[in-house]
A and B are shown apart, each in its own frame.
Chain A
């Protein structure tokens, strides 16, 4: 039954996604941690949402917003309320939003592999997929993520999306996902 409802949700959102940006809105949160958490919740519930850059008028620094189909605002708010996440505001999309980087670069060092997403790089040992280094980035969660992840295997390490709070943390999550997807 749950699966059926999820499929219905996905189908419904996909249809709405086919419209112009006039039908889209953004959820604005107090901080990037809330955005990452909200994205986790909404994606797990199969809502087709996208993390994007905020429009210039509401940028403060290390920002992300969640783009969603406006017509689903009430449902999405309800979903988030269940996990005590409240957006600061909901704004209709009136101009193109900045898209997160979606280019990955892979470097093969022989015994080691490095994947880069935006400004973040993660390197693993090929023999056992132990994370041996995390480099790049400039936000304060990067040294923290490195401290918590280096020395652990990809399978055992905490995920950047669970510990990260900034765009650099989010970029590291993308690099991490790329590594897991490929290997």
Chain B
């Protein structure tokens, strides 16, 4: 089973956990209906589409309403600290939660108490907390975009908002930023750097790059990073090698563009709808197409 932890942008949404479903283009968890926009709902919807295509693995979600005040996130942190040991996940993905170093440390302790350590993926706010706490190496995957990679590479920055200019200027030097992130122990075992190309790392080495198909407009579309993390989550649970899962996830995410024909005003749900076709296309070609490594 796969676990996904995150927030929804609705202050009234209570802490909710259970198997997530996608019904008529909307998420459903415990009978509660959630529209699929960017953020954790987009990640979940992408994961559900991929799981359905793959013959269905259950996606178990832990969600709470939070609009940035952090109260919902703190409730969610507290719940996970008390209850994570009761669950068993192959992959556990943390997403949009308010970054909080103290709570992050407690979550890592709670993971230690699980019977089996899941593959750990951190994205968005939880990745920020993981880096800031100095415990990035506890994770199997971080999934930064290039701006967030610069933050990981800046050993002094507690948030991307404070990334120093001289590091931000290295935007075109992704391999240097990757090296710097590992040099200061601020990267997970693997990185999937979302950009053009996407970089997949293993240890401190670039394992592969994925650069096609390419749609410049996808950078502007809110949620394309979330869908990549959702795909990665499911593919990691599908008995692929972790690096192979990452390469496939990057490819599938790009292939959604082939079917959705995106422009900068395209909304993420339009790309999510095409995930099954993209998965079919990528899997058919995966034996002939080799990533650049």
Contact = CB atoms under 8 A, between A and B. Distances in A.
B181 interface: no
A169 to B, nearest CB: 6
Contacts of A105: 171
A119 B151 contact: yes
A58 to B, nearest CB: 11
B98 A140 contact: yes
Q: Kindly list the 9 A-B residue pairs having the minimum CB-CB distance in the complex, ordered from nearest.
A: A141-B68, A143-B39, A165-B68, A138-B124, A144-B9, A132-B265, A119-B160, A112-B264, A140-B66
Interface residues of B, number: 60
B165 A123 contact: no
Interface stretch (A41-49, A67-75, A84-92, A93-101): A93-101
B163 interface: yes
Contacts of B151: 119
B188 interface: no
Given A119-B148, A140-B68, A125 B265 contact: yes
Contact of A136 (B101, B145, B158): B145
Interface string A95-113: 0001111110101010110
Among B37, B41, B70, B145, the one with the most A-chain Cβ atoms within 10 Å of its Cβ is: B70
Nearest to B224: A135
A137 B265 CA distance: 18
Given A53-B162, A168-B161, 20 more contacts: A53-B159, A56-B158, A59-B101, A61-B100, A62-B98, A101-B168, A102-B165, A112-B220, A114-B264, A119-B147, A119-B160, A121-B219, A125-B265, A136-B225, A137-B124, A139-B99, A140-B72, A142-B68, A146-B37, A167-B159
B221 A135 contact: yes
SS class, residues of chain A in contact with chain B: mixed
B68 A138 contact: no
Interface of A: 31-33, 53, 56, 59-63, 98-103, 105, 107, 109, 111-112, 114, 116, 118-119, 121, 123, 125, 132-144, 146-147, 150, 163-171
A53 B263 CA distance: 36
Nearest to A164: B68
B39 A109 contact: no
B175 interface: no
A36 to B, nearest CB: 10
A165 B67 contact: yes
A166 B223 contact: no
Contacts of A56: 158
B97 interface: yes
Contacts of A135: 38, 219-225
Nearest to A33: B69
A107 B267 CA distance: 19
Contacts of A163: 67
A146 B225 CA distance: 15
B73 A140 contact: yes
Given A98-B162, A103-B165, A114-B219, A61 B129 contact: yes
